[in-house]
Amino acid sequence: GADFLEGRVEELRLAYEQGLRHLQFVHYIRTPVGDFQTAAPVHNGFSDMGKQLIEACNTMGVLVDLAHSTGAGVDQALEIAKAPVIWSHGWVDTEEGTWRDGTGLMRRRLSLAHAKKIASRGGVIGLWGLGSPRPAVPGRGWSVGARDTQGYARELASLVNKIGADHVALGTDIEGVGSNWSVNSYGDVRQVIKHLEGMKLGTAVIERAKPRKGARKPL
């Protein structure tokens, strides 16, 4: 998250000079930046400071990452942003998650409507490498179980069908979701690619999701 800015947009310049090029705005800690999915909202999306931060990132060439943001924040960011944004990790469902949902997995849902909005402006959605202890039936929630690289590949292919291959990617949080993971290493990524090939997805489609040597964008 942008916690380190401590509410001061001007601090972004120093971070940029030290190499920052990708900024996730919110995470699990309340900050002056904006609301996040897993706690009751207090800013109605992004604060004035958060909105100014979007503009500053665009000016400097820092990638805006909306992962963990609320639906209201996504809408505000897309109104302000002059460059594509990303949602680096999470999953896509019919409706967005809210802080009132029973589990963190459910709260972290991005709505399909918002995924399409991000895609329509050139952005990318990254699906996280989480494996659920109780995976849903495909098409009715996050259907990927622990160590389930095939289920993960299925979810990637499903989202490609909904928003287009140019806007779907392997998500971040590799080695970051604890013991309940579906994709947790580059070896797992290799298995996902094999599953996608087995699903007869075209080479051009698969290439859009694969990590590239020297790539600076999220996996």
Q: Report the pLDDT value the prediction gives residue 184, as an integer from 0 to 100.
A: 94
Query: For residue 210, what pLDDT band results from cuts at 50, 70 and 90?
Result: low
3-state helix, strand, coil in the chain (%, to 5): 40, 15, 45
Contact 91, 132 (CB under 8 A): no
- The answer to whether the CB of 69 falls within 8 A of the CB of 90 is no
Q: How far apart are CA 53 and CA 50, in angstroms?
A: 5
For 27-64, what is each residue's pLDDT tens digit? 999 999 999 999 999 999 999 999 999 999 999 999 99
Q: State the pTM of this model.
A: 0.92
In 3-state terms, what secondary structure has residue 63? Answer: strand
